[in-house]
Amino acid sequence: DAGVIQSPRHEVTEMGQEVTLRCKPISGHDYLFWYRQTMMRGLELLIYFNNNVPIDDSGMPEDRFSAKMPNASFSTLKIQPSEPRDSAVYFCASSLGVRGREAFFGQGTRLTVV
Amino acid sequence: GNSVTQMEGPVTLSEEAFLTINCTYTATGYPSLFWYVQYPGEGLQLLLKATKADDKGSNKGFEATYRKETTSFHLEKGSVQVSDSAVYFCALWGSNYKLTFGKGTLLTVNP
């Protein structure tokens, strides 16, 4: 398997624009997680899905953020409108089960909002 | 809620030195504990894990023991190499099904 695939790897956008980040989890995995990484706050869990259903979105910072998982092989994280403080690296991860299982991470999308 | 506290970095060592990165946690129930490593420009990779008290996880010369009495999961390696330079994250998977990370510790190993 190719692992968790995220696109794009880098995104530079202007403040106010809509940004969509994409993730393809490992085939067969039933959990998908979106994280945001910044120097100040470290790794923050934004939202996670189980079998394509959002389970906990308490980490989503504002209504400007939304995430979907229309099927088992694809998820999106959308920011609309984007702001400079959204600049961060966004990671997607997937796992088969939870608790003692390994979460596999994508290489991340580095978002810069200018 | 669950939380993970790990020692602040950066940590700078010479090759073949002994490494310890401290990690303590707060969680209800019996969480699973992990160490992940992040190399520059890459995502996180699992380094080792332990799923119950007194378990020892080990991989690539790194070790960590799940100590419930001290709520700790310290990472150790007897002899570090330049290639071990990376950011190390302690994490726990709790009963709320969330994988919670510490803030990470940057390790630099000099030849």
Per-residue pLDDT of chain A (114 residues; tens, 9 = 90+): 689 999 999 999 999 999 999 999 999 999 999 999 998 888 999 999 999 999 999 999 889 999 999 999 999 999 999 999 999 999 999 999 877 788 999 999 999 999
**Residue B93 and residue A107: Cβ atoms within 8 Å?**
no
pLDDT of residue A62: 87
Whether B19 contacts B77, CB under 8 Å: yes
- Residue B44 has, within 13 A of its CA and on its CB side, a CA count of 34
**If you ran DSSP here, which 8-state letter would residue A57 be given?**
-
Give A 61-90 residues with CB within 8 A of chain B.
none
Whether B95 contacts B31, CB under 8 Å: yes
- Asked if B51 reaches chain A (Cβ–Cβ under 8 Å), the answer is yes
Out of A43, A100, A103, whose CB is closest to B51?
A100
Tens of pLDDT, residues A60-81: 988 999 999 999 999 999 999 9
**Residue B43 and residue A4: Cβ atoms within 8 Å?**
yes
Tens of pLDDT, residues B21-33: 999 999 988 899 9
**Residue B32 and residue A99: Cβ atoms within 8 Å?**
yes
Whether A27 contacts A90, CB under 8 Å: no
- Asked if A103 reaches chain B (Cβ–Cβ under 8 Å), the answer is yes
pLDDT of residue A1: 64
For the cut 80, the answer to whether the pLDDT of residue B96 exceeds it is no
